[in-house]
């Protein structure tokens, strides 16, 4: 089997970094796309292409995708992981707050996937993985734009799965709960924020990036071609309580 190539957005740290490292460990050549340099990620992966661009900039995204194919020759997997999740009372949420969340969490996966599509089609095999959130089920009241954007991403996943199935490309979403990352710690503050999330889970611990790796590898696996249009809720049971 030819060596596969994967693109991970938001790969500089946290969940995106763990996804990039896991895919490299499974034999993929990996490109990471982030707004900032990815020195730490690049230091953990031998054959890593570092792409620095704004995922909401259509021209920049297309240019960086061309770099991936120039270096690796093809592209098979796209992981739309980049996202923002500000916490603010709805009454204090501005229209610009709303637009920013929608641009990064919903429009960027559209732009990245559309730019990647010609290469996935040319490869004759592909996997698109969108990182949604269990917040669409738990609906935290201070994250209205975030919940709306992630619910939109789930709809995008389902519709795109039907559109791309004839090309041998699957599209699925993974919905974690609050994952312990530097960004999450800045958003929810001290451990009290994580504790409130844990209180609504069946699994009594904070989710770590490593908890999502096996799900990602399952979704992109060669043998998972019959799985498409689905949202896998990996949230410690939080949506069922």
DSSP structure string for 16-70: HHHHHHHHHHTT-EEEEEESS--HHHHHH-SSEEEEE--TT-HHHHHHHHHHHHH
pLDDT of residue 87: 86
User: In which domain, by residue range, is 172 found?
Assistant: 5-240
* Candidate from 111-115, 116-120, 195-199 with smallest mean pLDDT: 195-199
Is residue 119 annotated as a catalytic residue, yes or no?
no
Question: Which residue is catalytic, options 48, 119, 146, 218?
Answer: 146
CA neighbor of 115 nearest in space, from 9, 22, 13, 221: 9
User: What mean pLDDT do residues 69-96 have?
Assistant: 95
Specify the pLDDT at position 228: 98
Pairing of strands 29-34, 169-176: unpaired
Structure tokens at 16: 């995106």
Give the model's confidence band at 182: pLDDT under 50 very low, under 70 low, under 90 confident, else very high: low
Q: Give the chain's radius of gyration (CA, Å).
A: 17
Tell me: pLDDT of 241 over 50: no
Two tokens, residue 113 = 């996937």
Question: Does residue 192 have a pLDDT over 60?
Answer: no
pTM: 0.92
Tens-place pLDDT, residues 125-165: 999 999 999 889 888 898 999 999 999 999 999 999 999 99
Q: Is 35 exposed, middle or buried (0-12, 13-18, 19+ CB in 10 A)?
A: middle
Structure tokens at 50: 């570092």
Candidates 152, 190, 153, 196; CA nearest to 178 is 196
**Helix residue ranges per DSSP H, 82-225:** 95-102, 108-123, 135-138, 144-164, 182-188, 191-198, 213-220
> Structurally, how many domains does the chain consist of?
1
Phi/psi region, residue 170 (left: phi>0; alpha: psi -120 to 50; beta: rest), is beta
Which CATH number do you get for residue 192?
3.40.50.720
């Amino acid at each position: 089997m030819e060596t596969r190539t994967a693109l991970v957005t938001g790969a500089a740290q946290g969940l995106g970094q763990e996804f990039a490292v896991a895919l490299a460990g499974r034999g993929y050549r990996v490109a990471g796309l982030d707004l900032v340099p990815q020195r730490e990620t690049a230091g953990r992966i031998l054959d890593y292409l570092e792409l620095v661009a704004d995922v909401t900039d259509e021209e920049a995204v297309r240019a960086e995708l061309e770099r991936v194919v120039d270096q690796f020759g093809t592209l098979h997997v796209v992981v739309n992981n980049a996202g923002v999740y500000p916490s603010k009372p709805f009454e204090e949420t501005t229209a610009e707050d709303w637009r920013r969340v929608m641009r990064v969490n919903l429009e960027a996966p559209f732009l990245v996937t559309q730019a990647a599509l010609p290469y996935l089609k040319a490869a004759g095999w592909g996997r698109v993985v969108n990182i949604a959130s269990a917040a669409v089920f738990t609906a935290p009241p201070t994250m209205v734009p975030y919940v709306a954007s992630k619910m939109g991403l789930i709809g995008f996943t389902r519709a795109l799965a039907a559109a791309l199935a004839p090309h041998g490309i699957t599209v699925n979403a993974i919905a974690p709960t609050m994952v312990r990352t530097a960004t999450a710690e800045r958003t929810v503050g001290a451990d009290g924020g994580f504790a409130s999330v844990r209180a609504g889970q069946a699994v009594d611990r904070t989710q770590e990036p490593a908890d999502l790796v096996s799900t990602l590898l399952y979704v992109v696996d060669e043998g998972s071609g019959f799985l498409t249009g689905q949202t896998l809720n990996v949230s410690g049971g939080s949506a069922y309580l």
